Chains A and B, each alone.
Chain A
Amino acid sequence: MSANLFLLLSLIFSLLQGSFLPPVLVEGAIVLLVVLAAPPRQAFLALFAGGIIFDLVQSQTLGLTSLVFLLSGVAILAMRDQLPLQKPIVAGVVAALVTLVRAKVVFASFLFAPSVVVGLLTILIFLFVWQPLSSSRIRLQ
């Protein structure tokens, strides 16, 4: 996933989430995908800008989602040699955790149902759309 695609998805889903969909949903999946697929420098810029988009559109305090995204990105990058992140189950758990953390930090509530949904969605993405490029990188099938 390119940084531009991440930003586009951030804009679309920040508008949809809360008004049409649950307030948190896809962020866990797209954060994981951009960190694994884009070069780290681009990924961090995308995470910062994506977080700002989410906060602006959802009228949250600016910087809060960027902090969650960046810290999640750093953690994923640091763990990618230790954890088999290209495995669908592991990726699903990580995506669900990122979503859960954002729900707690931004909306002060653990939103389990959307987090489980994004976990399953990530598993499906990793099973059918993305293929492992190496032990720590992925590419579009």
Chain B
Amino acid sequence: MTTSKKSPYSLAIVYLLLAVLLYFLDSRGTLGSVHSATQALTTPVRSFLFNTKQNILSPLSVFSDSSKQEQRVKELEEKNASLSAQLAKLTGLQEENEKMRRLLGTDLPPSWQFATARVVTVTADTLVLTSDHAPQDDTSVITTKESGIFVGRVQEVKGKEVQILLPSHSSSKIPVIVRDSESGLRQASGIGVGRGGRAVLEQVLTSEQIKEGDLILTSGEGGVPEELLLGYVAEVSRVEGAAWQQAEIKSAVDLDDLDFVFFVTKF
């Protein structure tokens, strides 16, 4: 009796040790070829399923007027995000005269280099891409070359699949600045911190004025290119007497509508 009760647990320990060994080897990148071989089979299927989901969801929205309006609002928000990013960029150019000359007539500096990647799927706070280009860890990802909306940073590369840590991921911290949505003037600086499913603007001094709708842009610190639109200020929280205030960040990008994104390989 004792033997039959013990043996399954000892078997479990053997499998646990095997799992730990695999985890260790894969963490060191030794099993990249195994991932590549599997992805060759599974990525087309997952991509097909993701597109099928999008196709199923899109026609359903046509049947209700509210969905049409939501679609219209979404389009306008995207346009607004694009315009806001351009406005912020122009303001940044005014602050630095030298940079202005270099950037005049373009949205992003011509010296920047990009590599394209196709969106496979979105899982929790991670975006999964597939690309022939193997980016380095922490490479920034933006939506389009023209508008420069920040999507996230490269977390891990497995074969041809690249995992992008979104700003809402619990381990994401991005130094940011806040600009007024109308004047484009710099209002505050802080850190965009992921809270799992949402992002929060933290470490903003209470003496600095931020309000709903203000633009949140990357500050250029921490290896992220500057003046990329991260999102908008939404719902500011202030505690009387506290040194810091914080605010919810409304994302500037709708991940479900993304087909292609760009790695900023040089900036």
A interface residues, tally (CB under 8 Å): 37
Choose, from A16-24, A26-34, A82-90, A131-139, the stretch at the interface: A16-24
A98 in the interface (beta carbon within 8 A)? no
B266 in the interface (beta carbon within 8 A)? no
Query: Is the Cβ of B53 less than 8 Å from the Cβ of A19?
Result: yes
Query: Is the Cβ of A59 less than 8 Å from the Cβ of B35?
Result: yes
Query: Is the Cβ of A107 less than 8 Å from the Cβ of B123?
Result: yes
Q: A18-B123, A109-B196 are in contact. Are A41 and B7 (CB under 8 A)?
A: yes
Query: Is the Cβ of A41 less than 8 Å from the Cβ of B11?
Result: yes
Q: Is the interface of B mostly helix, strand, loop or mixed?
A: helix
- Residue in chain B with minimal CB distance to A73: B12
B19 in the interface (beta carbon within 8 A)? yes
Residue from the list B15, B121, B161 in contact with A70, Cβ < 8 A: B15
Query: Is the Cβ of B8 less than 8 Å from the Cβ of A77?
Result: yes
B47 in the interface (beta carbon within 8 A)? yes
Q: In the docked arrangement, what's the CA distance between A62 and B35, Å?
A: 9
Query: Is the Cβ of B158 less than 8 Å from the Cβ of A20?
Result: no
A93 in the interface (beta carbon within 8 A)? no
Closest CB of chain B to A105's CB: distance in Å?
Answer: 11
Task: Give me the interface of A with B, judged by CB distance under 8 Å.
Answer: 15-20, 23, 40-41, 43-45, 47-48, 51-52, 56-59, 61-64, 66-67, 70-71, 73-74, 77, 103, 107-111
